Chain A
């Protein structure tokens, strides 16, 4: 009996020790340690992935940019409400000729180390990304030839060819202005460990795969942020853990909440789900290479007509998604409104078209889809395959891991159909419609429409905005008529938000701390 008590007490003591670790003094502060909502001068945001780097030119990652925008500024910024491009670090600009843009900087802007912002900083920043082909965002900036410094606050951006999308280009990822003197003096490696920008918050610490901490910058040129002293971006990869942190008050905002967790966030007292349409469109890319059934526009049209886009958004996305037949979303330059929030669905017509194309009994095709890359991607692929079976088309869905998927496409080994959901940080139709450039995706998609290409080519260098927008709109109509690809829907952004703060997501999926206030 004694032994039993001995062992039982050993177990009890162990349990007691464990409980003591968690109970007592830790209990009330458990959530506070993470900078939760109890400390009302600290805003804590939970994200699914860690930021990649402080090298603003060497990532193409929205969650990294979501942190950068709070530490740096662009020359211009896009108004998420109106889509208008407004000056940020710039005072204003003047177009000298088709290749030259003169920009004047605001006076009195300082970096977090006290250095004043000048034209040399802009030259350093833009020429770095425009000239260094190893930087990941180089492909979006190689249209810039050079930056000519006129005086401390005035400079000219000279492009290789007329670039009507220049302002869109320099008001997005990779156009944060860097401190040239600081980097030249200390080296890039030092900057990456101790980044310095002009933004409303300055760098405090980055514990990888754990958190990035920013502190308010008192001398911010638009005035110190009065709401928050500190912002903590925490990395919580597991969806259910991220939601649990939100429910217990450990964080104020949790990004990327999957549909399976929506109910938990909504039904909890003190939190809600906030949704917004994203700039990401889910599409099915059809191979137009000769010999593939999808080379025939009638087959492509039939496949499109067989899909009930609304059933997908209603059932798989709980209504959070908008059916569309163009990749260019609202808020983007060159958006064709009449092609948005609508879809083609007519099973009988689809069967008729298939018969006309010579497939009265349908046919078999291969459908590649990534799994876990986009919101409900695999589920969408399965549902589409099911819908196609109604017109006699048997789709063999192949789910692939992302890098194998990309390699397959680059090697041109993709078969009839593949699924992608593409974003567009440029907010310009030029970026979205680049897929219809025959040469660019030759051997992978092979869609060739000379009329569309002529329009896109003309628009790419057209400095008349109205005419340029019309060219893009016309191209989108031609593409829709020809069913170049099947556009499914616009995805939504799903963020879990504490009722203690006022926050609504923006279409660009960036978190602007300056716009978040306490309730």
Chain B
């Protein structure tokens, strides 16, 4: 009896092992498989739109949409060769220098990254300390020794350093506390820290929610972009598929930019799909603020300049070596988008 029970127990425990092997997804016949990396933020909306419209299947692409909760896992997955093309912000620098990936085009101009303080902060007393930036608050006296909450390795990090530089405070003279956006918001709401850096959609809601005041935004200082990053392997071997997909990205950008209500609705849909509360009002503001790159914009903008600036920034704060920044700049290539937009 005992033995029988034991055997049964062992069988029951090992059953899932066999069950596990059967859920491999099969690739569709005759279609090129393309792994697409997004995050559950603004940058995923285009990929979702393309998926929902069914354009990829029409174009003969079998898309595997992969959602990563942060840049670290996305970059690790890139090193493990798990995706071919991704929508990414500032953290693309690390993926490029570590895996020889390429930046092939833009999908958005990142706006809305903002530094906030609480309404009673003494920083609000000084405005326009640096005459070049009359709308920016704070001076060395009020900023020194403050605690700043921000997400490292993002454009918010760049915002913070740019800001401190314009105000004339050394990066070591503030207390920098790394935190993801959401936890940052909660912690700041409980009274911790003096300054917080937030991207959209957070930066669009916290003023109303808590009365926090913006003191500077990234677009005050530099331009920052979201880029399409392509793994080295896909760049060498799947060029046609990548170009097809890039065409869809520009097509989606044109449709969504032509109708901001649709863009806002799609944002709400994307956020809800990823477990966040979709707020249509905030989504509308976000849709107005963050601009997707249409073919016209792509052709007219200085491609490669914001990318180079952020690489120099990472080299400056010591995350990467200066020669890696140079190598990165060589990997920002314009051949693909020029070919895609030529027709």
Asked if A pairs with B, the answer is no
Binding site for B on A (CB under 8 A): none
